Amino acid sequence: MKTCLLTLLILVTFVTTATPQVKSSRAELDALIDREGKTSPPWFKETRLDYPQTLDLSWPKGPPPGGWNNQKNVGQYVWDIINPNPSRWREGTRLMHHLLTLHKDDPEKRERIMLTLCHMYHDLLEDYARAAFWYRAVGVEKDPEEFAQSAVILAECYWRLGHRDEALKLLAKVPPSVSQAKLLGDMGETDKAIRMALADEDTQGYDFLAAGDACRQAGRYQDALGYYQKVLDIEVPAKNPPGRLLKNRNRAGANVAAIKAFELFDPQSVSDGKYVAASQGYEGAVEVTVAMKSGRITDVAVTKHREKQFYSAITDTTAKIIAKQSVKGVDTTSNATITSEAIINATAKALAR
């Protein structure tokens, strides 16, 4: 019975994170977003409005005086307390709705609150219809150049809701960026993704990483290895090397090792048991334990990590690996790419052992 329930949970999780290929009109997309956005989520009424009484709900713009204080500043409270704690994601969303009511007559604060609400619905709860509703309320679709980063996420919402053409139309209006290249790669637009990534020349290797990720997603492993090698070939200054370049080199090296590892094994040939390995995440090593039985991946669990802003990566990346029975072709979680990548790489290393 427990096995059946676990299997059902995995399937339900994957269905909610997979991308449906629905063909419907723009009018149907608009109706879906409008309907969901104007109604509360099913859990909303049961979720308490719970926050520290010391929190300054006026949320003044700019860095607060007196240094970092996650019990006073709303933005810091979201970053430190809400984002790293899945059990509090709904509370955080409830708080943002409360702040919208408090500041109904302040356009500047409402925009800031709505963008935070967009982040919560998209990055944390993966509620793409409600995320799209609030991105539209901010004005992202009307001015995709002004809100370029948000417009890429709105396009992803359209794609996740099954409206690929609408996503591509919106992306065509957005200035080139590495984040856009990542989304195009996830959508299977590999060549476009590579051109987009390389158009954004970057001395710290983000362009080559994005191009490599697109190739890896498409199963073009030799091309991916070539782009990752370009990151490793970037000269590192002897004095004061950029921290981001060093992190990108670590990522590229881990990706190369993972590709070489998973090309060497067939999961069906792996003996029953549990296998443990780790790979570099954003804050440190991400350890994964993979369970195998009768040639199938029965569980993937993140058993150790120090990630803070992992959003939904830990649950949906592991679920995708189980559903695919492979690390090949598993797309990384938006805005938590490095954590997802670490889970995929660690899983590959564990099984290759």
**Domain residue limits, the chain:** 24-213, 265-353
> Strand order in 296-304's β-sheet?
273-280, 285-293, 296-304
Per-residue tokens: 300: 């993937």
The CATH-assigned architecture of domain 265-353 is Alpha-Beta Complex (3.90)
CA angle 298, 306, 265 (to 5 degrees): 35
Provide the pLDDT for residue 24.
67
Cβ of 296: how many Cβ atoms within 10 Å? 13
Provide the pLDDT for residue 264.
67
Query: Per-residue pLDDT for the chain (353 aa), expressed as one digit of tens each?
Result: 333 433 333 333 333 444 455 556 899 999 999 999 999 999 999 999 999 999 999 999 887 788 899 999 999 999 999 999 999 999 999 999 999 999 999 999 999 999 999 999 999 999 999 999 999 999 999 999 999 999 999 999 999 999 999 999 999 999 999 999 999 999 999 999 999 999 877 889 999 999 999 999 999 999 999 999 999 999 998 888 888 899 999 999 999 999 988 876 677 788 899 999 999 898 889 999 999 999 899 999 999 999 988 899 999 999 999 999 988 889 898 888 999 999 999 999 998 87
Identify the sign of the CA torsion 193, 194, 198, 202. Answer: positive
Provide the pLDDT for residue 23.
53
CATH 1.20.120 fits 24-213, yes or no: no
Per-residue tokens: 62: 């700019």
Provide the pLDDT for residue 335.
85
- Tell the residue number behind the tokens 């993937």, with chain if given: 300
Contacts of 126 by beta carbon, 8 Å cutoff, 6+ apart: 16, 17, 160, 312, 316
Provide the pLDDT for residue 269.
80
